[in-house]
Structure 1
Amino acid sequence: MDLTGHRYNIAHNGFTVIEDIYTGAEVSAIINAIESVDRAGPLFRQTDDVFAIRQFLKAVPDAFPLIFNNRLKNVISNVFGDYYFAVKSIYFDKPGSSNWFVAWHQDLTISVDKKIDIAGYGPWTVKHNQFGVQPPIDILQDNFTIRIHLDDTDEGNGALKVLPGSHLKGIYRPENIDWQQETEVSCNVPAGGIMIMRPLLMHASNRTTNNKKRRVVHIEFSRAELVEGIDWAEKR
């Protein structure tokens, strides 16, 4: 697989889409692993609009070898190198009837194991007993996210909308978006494909309008060693 174009897309646009990382059988195996786990417990969240699993790789351990197949490992190694590790994982199951949408934002926080006052880290959040903090910007600039699509996803069922190149603008507040200069792009991904993105890429997603499901495994990667006193909450 020639990944030259994808490296260029990530560097200049902040994202890329790669199809056929998983076969239909592999997608079905991942779905089966998810559906076979007990949905009780604090890592599972169920509403009418979304079912989510936080710390997904911990909560669904059988999915780990299915997700990290040779094709995905080859993409990570060839695009980013060998020193990255997973630091956060979430599963989103957006039903076909969902009205859930996500407004324009950057992913500015990382998940860590404890909260302490450290220069350069802040503000802090706590969500579902998980500590989040905004780290120094160089960590965010170097991290990347892989979104694994288990369903065909387009504008009709909440594909991510992005502003290409916005990851190069530092901290970019939604209220400061210059719509005279920006052009939003829908990141349509077929089932078995992945979207790779930088966390500083400005992104959003719409409500579902076509009554089709959207199931995505979201995994964040880093190679940064955090300042002494805190560590990644999900490092593996």
Structure 2
Amino acid sequence: MEHDGTKLPIYERKPGQKFEVTESMKHEFSKNGFIIVRNLFSDEEITKLRKSLESPESELMKRSYSDSDGDGGRIRIILWNHPGDDYSGVMGRCERVVGTCEKLIGGEVFHYHTKMILKDARTGGAFQWHQDYGYWYLNGILRPDMISVQVAVDDADKGNGALQVVKGSHKMGRIDHTRIGDQAGADPKRVTEALKIMDKIYVELKAGDGLFFHCNLLHTSDKNLSDRRRWAYISCYNRADNVSYKDHFHARYTPLKKVPDSSVLECDDFNTMDGKWFHVPDQNKDFSYEYIPEKKQ
């Protein structure tokens, strides 16, 4: 069922004010599997992120790669395991992001990974219906005590492939996933049945808006066939007491060094990639990483 967009769990961060997580936010997150925060990042902060990506010297963009969507489309991605100290890292370490995640998921979190999803105009591929925990479970993580934060770098709407979520679907528990192209997709039968009784919502965001969502929330996005790009920044966090029981290709527990919200605008470092551990596709195995060691102080 498609939702008409009314009565969604939408909140707003006021400029210059500390963002506080309320009991209402926690209730809506528990009930729906997500909340939306308008103006999570300001226009000036998003402009700086764009600058870090659009510069010809961008160290982030040098590490982009593309995945097939299984239907002729491709999605460009940049993915790294540890946040680092550059601008993209400070965004994922600031209090308004990390502190909100900790209150919504119920405990200390650590950075699992961050990725840029780059859906370019007329060429950006689709994502299959999936749950993040559908494949993070395979990494040896026992409980779905995980959360992601998507920040719109560009305005996102139906026309350019905005994220779609199934409201309350996180309560279904983990669904089996299978490979579709280069992606993992949820059991189509389960998705079909869920859509008969649950609301499908297009998460339409303005640049700087944020979506906090549970790792078992079903979500997807269509191809971007418009003449507008849709780029998004997504940081993922695991609870500190939910460490995987086996080694895998995302970060294990590493204490997260939170920084004040003011640190975002204060940071002008766009290209120091020390310690980030970038994903590098490898035809001969599922993953490989470019490790950039941290500089000694």
Q: TM-score, normalised by structure 2?
A: 0.62
Note closer, same or farther for the CA distance 1:207–1:175 as it changes in structure 2 (3 Å cut).
Answer: same
Q: 1:200 aligns with which of 216, 223, 227?
A: 216
Long gaps (5+) in structure 2: 1-19, 68-72, 176-186, 255-297
How big is each residue's C-alpha offset from its partner over 1:213-234, in whole Å with a ceiling of 9 and x where there is no partner? 111111111111222x526733
Cα shift at 1:191: 0.8
Describe how 1:47-86 pairs up with structure 2 within 5 A.
49-55=74-80, 61-81=86-106, 83-86=108-111
Alignment-mate amino acid for residue 216 of structure 2 = L
Cα shift at 1:65: 1.5
Cα shift at 1:7: 1.5
**Where does residue 234 of structure 1 map in the other structure?**
251
Describe how 1:1-236 pairs up with structure 2 within 5 A.
1=20, 3-35=22-54, 36-37=58-59, 39-40=61-62, 43-46=63-66, 49-55=74-80, 61-81=86-106, 83-107=108-132, 108-110=134-136, 122=138, 133=139, 135-136=141-142, 139-140=143-144, 142-172=145-175, 173-177=187-191, 178=193, 179-223=195-239, 224-227=242-245, 229-230=246-247, 233-235=250-252, 236=254
**Where does residue 266 of structure 2 map in the other structure?**
none
Q: Distance in 1 between matches of 2:140 and 2:38?
A: 32
Q: Distance in 1 between matches of 2:51 and 2:85?
A: 11
Query: Percent identity, aligned pairs only?
Result: 18
Long gaps (5+) in structure 1: 111-120, 123-132
Alignment-mate amino acid for residue 45 of structure 2 = E
Indicate conservation of the 8 Å contact 1:27/1:192, yes or no. yes
**Where does residue 127 of structure 1 map in the other structure?**
none
Across the aligned residues of Structure 1 and Structure 2, the Cα RMSD in angstroms comes to 2.6
Note closer, same or farther for the CA distance 1:78–1:188 as it changes in structure 2 (3 Å cut).
Answer: same
Indicate conservation of the 8 Å contact 1:17/1:193, yes or no. yes
Cα shift at 1:209: 4.0
Indicate conservation of the 8 Å contact 1:150/1:214, yes or no. yes
Aligned length: 210
Q: Distance in 1 between matches of 2:84 and 2:122?
A: 26
